[in-house]
Amino acid sequence: MPGSFRDPTRPVGSPDRRPDRRVARCAAAGLAAAALVLPLLAGGPTAAADAADGAGADASASLQKEFSEAAQRYKVPESVLLGVSYLQSRWDTHKGAPSVSGGYGPMHLTDAKAALARSRAQGHHADTEDARGDSARPARTPEAKAAVKGAEKAAGLKKLPARLRTLERAAGLTGLSREELRTSPGANVRGGAALLAAAQKKLGRPLSSDPADWYGAVAAYPGGGAGGKDAAGDGSSFADDVFDTLRQGEARTNDAGDRLSLRAAPGLRPEKAGDRARGPVECPRSVDCEWLPAPYEKYTNDEGEEDYGNHDRTNRPKSQKIDYIVVHDTEETYEKTLKLVQDPTYVSWHYTLRSSDGHVAQHVRGKDTAWHAGNWYVNSTSVGLEHEGFLTDPDAWYTEAMYRSSARLVKYLSHKYDIPLDRQHILGHDNVPGTTPSAIKGMHTDPGPYWDWQHYFSLLGKPFTPEAGPASKLVTIAPDYDENKPVFTGCDGAGKPCKPHGSSAVRLHTAPDADAPLVKDIGLHPDGSASTTGVNDTGARATTGQKYAVADRKGDWTAIWYLGQKAWFSNPQGEPTAVPARGTAVEPKPGKDEIPVYGRAYPEKEAYPADVPVQDLVALPYKVKKGERYAAGLKTRGAYLYAVDFDPEAKNFKVVRGKLTYYQIQLGHRVAFVRADDVRVVKGH
């Protein structure tokens, strides 16, 4: 039975309340496609049915029956229909709310004209943050705002690509209204079946009962079942994921309480077309990837001065080691995002991932330095991944296809650049520190509290599980995403509660009491006020995968050292929100009452040659005091990338290296750096 399997992503001792979620996560963690090869446990349909009883049994049959009836009506194999839906939505209905790319229902039928009116109409980097984050050069914020305005005009709703109009096509094929297709899960499934059947006919293939005959139609599905030329990519990676799911099987209870299952077919081998040309992309073969370069060219800015954009030519990892992968969301549609990154006056990142099918566009070569993280030290040592999405809309979900494609890409980059797969090296943009006290408030908060870090790391083959005994002095944050629903505000207006939604975030209090005030972040709130429940206020938040030093324990509550204070969170033994961890921590050396904290690991001033301006070691407003400990990440020598001129051949940039050595620490929600000669390293377990 599904309930007999133990979820490797759940802490030891946690009750088995959601067997469906456990099986789904086991399957996700065991995805056996190219870059994700792990053992898998699959649940069959009989087992899934046995797990439901009473009213649940009646509910469990409803959506499963809709899939069966739609498959019969449009002569599409039921397993193919279920597999496509799983990759689009994990069979969730989202209660009629659209996804980030305007998709509705379990089949993710897109109606962008209805959905994109909800979008934030604001670019990811078009506010207070200077994405380049290099104090040696002027901030890029004004140019970014101008670029967004131009892109919004250029990417209007008049010429929507086929992938954003699949609901319209489904309405024509089925005779169902657009409203029905948006709001009725059963109608939505019929619409998806009709699109698959139409794609199969267009390919000249029979409406076969053999799933192996449907590879081409599945590959065309994200483009609207028509294989349109406006849908970049051939869909093969999406189809590969669907057929992996068919081979392995799935069982899950969706967000509406319907229990669905897909019987495993381990011998299924679809007929595939030959590989297409991919261009000079740096992607695994298992990812559908195209080369869409960001411009590296000169231009004249608004002040009449010569400038260049939108990245720097360097020679990594020979010139500087790549230590980080930074996960962003776009706060824009995919189309607008591509227009922005192709503007030389805007900023840049290395890859963009599309929500509907996980398609990847690469813009900047890994050897070059993109302007994306708001911290020049992190930019110079990282690769940036933008995922189509809006962090403040909890109903705008990240698709399974995008999670899997991103995980494959991250595994590939991890291997290519020797980057450890942990949360000290795989950062959210919201974990990147401000470089100076004045920069802290402008730092971005994506991908936000609704990004499922546990699921993501399960796909990477590194789920967050207990590593030590219960008395360990380190913990890893690991709440049950589905059950963890802290109240956030500000998704749709200041102070308004966001809709309840699963979250990776754990809220931190000043005392072991849910009614106690939230801890303070003097960088975000210099007036000394407490943090808030705002969805963009990271001042009292710990997130899945982050490792902290334990400061105290009391009953069902655990305190961690966080921004110079004890921060308490509910962590009951039966339903833990954190698991014991292994590793090291740092504390001030004996004789030091407090030590400074930095947002970048720069060299000492004596290391700079005469032709490179000295970058001051500016401390952040936080301190690490005597008696406090912080989980330690990487150890690195101070370095500064000086690249301020147009340099197509990458011959004139310099990397200044000093003798100063730093430890990265988990200071708060964001990481920070302390000087190695200020601290001593201690065991955390």
pLDDT tens by residue, 443-476: 999 999 999 999 999 999 999 999 999 999 999 9
Q: What is the DSSP letter of 424?
A: T
Q: What is the pLDDT of residue 5?
A: 23
In the block, tokens 């998704």 appear at 491
Q: Which of 307, 294, 315, 322 minimizes the C-alpha distance to 654?
A: 315
Q: Which two tokens stand for residue 430?
A: 């919201």
Q: Which two tokens stand for residue 593?
A: 């009452």
- Euclidean distance between CA atoms 647 and 59, whole angstroms: 63
3-state DSSP assignment of residue 251? strand
Which phi and psi angles does 238 have, rounded to 5°? -60, -45
* β-strand pairing of 557-562 with 547-554: antiparallel
Paired with 474 in beta bridges are: 549
For the residues of 497-554, what is the DSSP string, one character each?
BPPP---SEEE-BSSSSTTSPBPP-TTT-TT-PPP--BTT--TTEEETT-EEEEEEEE
556 with 573: CB under 8 angstroms?
Answer: yes
- Euclidean distance between CA atoms 58 and 348, whole angstroms: 51
Helix (H) or strand (E) holding 58: helix 55-74
- Euclidean distance between CA atoms 60 and 354, whole angstroms: 31
Phi-psi region of 233 (alpha: psi -120 to 50; beta: other; left: phi over 0): left
Burial, 637: exposed, middle or buried (Cβ in 10 Å; 0-12, 13-18, 19+)? middle
| CB-side neighbour CA atoms (13 Å) of 666 | 30
Q: What is the pLDDT of residue 128?
A: 59
- Euclidean distance between CA atoms 436 and 600, whole angstroms: 9
The sheet with strand 557-562 has its strands ordered as 565-570, 557-562, 547-554, 474-477, 578-580
Q: What is the pLDDT of residue 125?
A: 61
Q: What is the pLDDT of residue 232?
A: 55
Q: Which two tokens stand for residue 676?
A: 């190695």
In the block, tokens 């101070």 appear at 638
Q: Which of 625, 629, 615 minimizes the C-alpha distance to 663?
A: 629
3-state DSSP assignment of residue 416? helix
Q: What is the pLDDT of residue 507?
A: 97
Q: Which two tokens stand for residue 298?
A: 């000169």
570 with 556: CB under 8 angstroms?
Answer: yes
Phi-psi region of 92 (alpha: psi -120 to 50; beta: other; left: phi over 0): beta
Q: Which two tokens stand for residue 374?
A: 């708001």
With b for 16 or more beta-carbon neighbours within 10 A and e for fewer, the 373-403 pattern comes to bbbbbbbbbbbbbbbbbbbbbbbbbbbbbbb
Predicted TM-score of the model (pTM): 0.81
Rg of the chain on CA atoms, in Å: 25
401 with 483: CB under 8 angstroms?
Answer: no
pLDDT tens, residue by residue, 399-414: 888 999 999 999 999 9
- Euclidean distance between CA atoms 565 and 559, whole angstroms: 9
24 with 41: CB under 8 angstroms?
Answer: no
243 with 235: CB under 8 angstroms?
Answer: no
Taking 50 as the pLDDT cut, the residues of the chain under it are: 1-60, 118-122, 142-157, 224-231, 394
Q: Kindly give the interhelix angle for 400-417 and 236-248, rounded to the nearest 10 degrees.
A: 100
